[in-house]
Amino acid sequence: MQTLGLAAALAWPLPMIVALFFVLRDRGLKFRPVWAVMCFVGVGAFWMEQATGRWGFIPFAINLLPGSQPGFHKATIPAGAFAVLAVLYLRARKRAARTEPEGS
């Protein structure tokens, strides 16, 4: 169980970093600094105490940046990163539809 808690604590920043990469790469995005900060917004928090294996979920936690406490693993749902990735995907899809030739 502790391995699962550690894996979750290490995995949740990955979508945030990927979303930040795509925000920085998209030059046409307005308000890029706001979107970049939005990548690091997490909603909800899973926590696990290392020594005892106790765990829990706090549904109304809003985390802007990762934080930790000695003896605990914490993972959050990267809702901001998922929202940014969805917006960027829809923008790319819309842009591709506009550049598609008329005859196809």
Is residue 43 assigned to a domain?
Answer: yes
Is residue 80 assigned to a domain?
Answer: yes
- Residue-wise pLDDT tens digits, 3-41: 776 777 778 888 889 999 999 998 888 898 899 988 888
Kindly report the pTM of this predicted structure.
0.76
Is residue 91 assigned to a domain?
Answer: yes
What residues contact residue 50 under an 8 Å CB cut-off, 6+ apart?
Answer: 2, 5, 71, 72, 73
Residue pair 48/73 in contact by the 8 Å Cβ criterion:
yes
Is residue 33 assigned to a domain?
Answer: yes
Is residue 104 assigned to a domain?
Answer: no
- Residue-wise pLDDT tens digits, 57-96: 888 887 776 566 777 778 888 889 999 999 999 988 888 8
Residue tagged 């990927």 (tokens): 18
Range of the domain at 56: 2-99
**Burial label, 36 (beta-carbon count in 10 A; 0-12, 13-18, 19+):** middle
Say which DSSP state 64 is in. S
Count of domains for the chain: 1
